Structure 1
C-alpha cells in the first residue's frame, strides 16, 4: 500500500494481522527498509495488526532528497498510522526507529498507546556515543569487511546466523546520498529536553554488550521518560530483537497486553 504526503513523497507501507486487533507500528533502524522486521514481525501478527513502512530513501518509498530528520520521519510515521486506519496504536522502535518513536510519542501523543524503545539513545550531548574504533570499522573502504564489522556489532559471537540471511544490515537499494541523509538524520537526533513530555507507558530494551548504542543510554532514557522501565539482555548486542527473538518478543507482547 502507498500514501502520498503533502510534499509529494510516496510512502510504501504494509499492514498485516487480524482485522480489529490493536495496532502495532514497528519502526526500523537507520538506512534500513521495513524488511528490518521480516523475522520478528511474525511474533506479533497473531495478537496485533502490525504496520511497517519504508523510510524515505529506502525500499519502495520514493521521495525527494531533503533535510530528513528523525522528527520528519516521525511525521511520516503518523501519516502512515492514519492512512492505515488507526486513531491510536502501540509503537515499537529499534535503533534509529527508537529515535523516530521518541518524536512520534512527543509530538503525536494522541496516536501512541504504549511505547517500546529498543537499542536506542536520546541523542544530543547527553547520549553516550559509540567509540572511535567502532566508527572506524564502519568506515572501512572494503565493503565486505565493513559488512562483517556491522554483523559483529549486531550479533554476539554465539549467534549462529550468517550475514546473508540477516534483515538488519542495511538496505542494498539505497543510493549513497540517501544513506548519508539517514546517517545525518540519526546523528542530529536530540530529544533530551522533550523526553519528559512523553505520556505513553514506556518500556526500554537494550543488549548489555551493544557497542553501536552503548547500554548506558537505556538507563538515560528510562530515567528521563516518566515512569519508564528498562530491561537489559545479558550478552546481547545491537540486534537483541533478532538474536534473542523469542525472549524479546514475548517481553514486548506481555508489556503491550497488560
Structure 2
C-alpha cells in the first residue's frame, strides 16, 4: 500500500495486487476500494490490479473541494502517475463507470481497454431509474434491497454472517458530495470520442441503474459491446462473481497493453 498526492494536495490511499497488464478499479458512489471485495483477487490472477480510495472515503483525505466525476477521473490518473503506470485498463462500476468514462474521454492515451459496469451516461440522457428508487437514493436511505437479490443476500448471510456495507467509513457529508457528483455527471457529448475498446456489463434486474443504459452507452461509444448477466441486480460482480470476473478477464485478454 502507498499514498499518492494529487495536484490539490489530497492524499489518496492506494493498494496493488497481482501482476500483468495494469488494471485500475473505480468503485461506486461513496465507496472505498473495499467495495470490490473478492473481485480484486479474481482479477489479480492475471493483472496488476490497482485500487484506491476516492477522496472522502476509506483512508484517503476528505478535502472540501474536488468532488465531481471528472475530478475523480483526474485523481485516478494521478494514482497511475504516482505508480509510474503510463497505460492501464480501466474498470469502473456504477458511479465509478461514470468516472471511467471521463478517464477515457480526457486521457485516451492512458487507457488500454475500458469496462463500464452497471452505469449510465448521466441522468440528462440516461434511462431513469424507478421513482421510488430515485427517492431513496436522494434521501441517503438504505439501498441494500436494490443491490442484491434477496435470496442471494440471505444465502450470503448464512455462509459469511455479513453483507458488507459499501459505504462503511464514509461520512454523511462526504457521501452527499459523492451523490451530488454522480448526479451532475453528463459525458454524453464526449462519448463518441472514446477510442478504447469498451465492454458494458450489466445485471438484467438492476433498478439503481437500469440495464438499458448499457445499450445507450454502447450505441454512443464506437465499437462498444454489451454483456448482460441474467437475473443479477446492481451488484452483479458479487451475485455472479465467477461469470462477471471471467467475462472481464476474457475481454481484457483480447486487448493486451503493448
TM-score by length of 2: 0.92
1:157 to 150, 157, 161: 150
Following TM superposition, by how much is the alpha carbon of 1:84 offset from its aligned partner in structure 2, in angstroms?
1.6
State the SS of the aligned residue for 1:161: helix
1:179 to 175, 184, 196: 175
Which stretch of structure 1 is more off in the superposition, 206-215 or 38-47? 38-47
CA contact (8 A) 1:127 1:217 kept: yes
Query: Matches of residues 56-95 of structure 1 in structure 2 within 5 Å?
Result: 56-95=55-94
- Which residue is 1:108 aligned to? 107
- Which residue is 1:2 aligned to? 3
CA contact (8 A) 1:124 1:191 kept: no
State the SS of the aligned residue for 2:41: helix
Separation of aligned partners in 2, 1:105 and 1:4: 22
Following TM superposition, by how much is the alpha carbon of 1:37 offset from its aligned partner in structure 2, in angstroms?
1.3
Structure 1 unaligned segments of length 5 or more: list them: none
CA contact (8 A) 1:15 1:84 kept: no
State the SS of the aligned residue for 1:158: helix
- Which residue is 1:250 aligned to? 246
Separation of aligned partners in 1, 2:166 and 2:136: 15
Q: Give CA deviations for 1:183-208 in whole Å, capped at 9, x if unaligned.
A: 00000000001001100000000011
Which stretch of structure 1 is more off in the superposition, 155-164 or 228-237? 155-164
Following TM superposition, by how much is the alpha carbon of 1:172 offset from its aligned partner in structure 2, in angstroms?
2.3
CA contact (8 A) 2:17 2:41 kept: no
CA contact (8 A) 1:124 1:192 kept: no
Q: How many residues align?
A: 249
Separation of aligned partners in 2, 1:52 and 1:125: 29
State the SS of the aligned residue for 1:44: helix
State the SS of the aligned residue for 1:223: helix
TM-score by length of 1: 0.92
Structure 2 unaligned segments of length 5 or more: list them: none
Following TM superposition, by how much is the alpha carbon of 1:177 offset from its aligned partner in structure 2, in angstroms?
1.2
Q: CA RMSD in A?
A: 1.6
Following TM superposition, by how much is the alpha carbon of 1:164 offset from its aligned partner in structure 2, in angstroms?
6.7
Query: Matches of residues 1-258 of structure 1 in structure 2 within 5 Å?
Result: 1-18=2-19, 21-138=20-137, 146-147=141-142, 150-159=143-152, 160-162=155-157, 165-167=162-164, 169-258=165-254
CA contact (8 A) 2:34 2:166 kept: no
Q: Give CA deviations for 1:146-200 in whole Å, capped at 9, x if unaligned.
A: 43xx222111133122397334x33222222111100000000000010011000
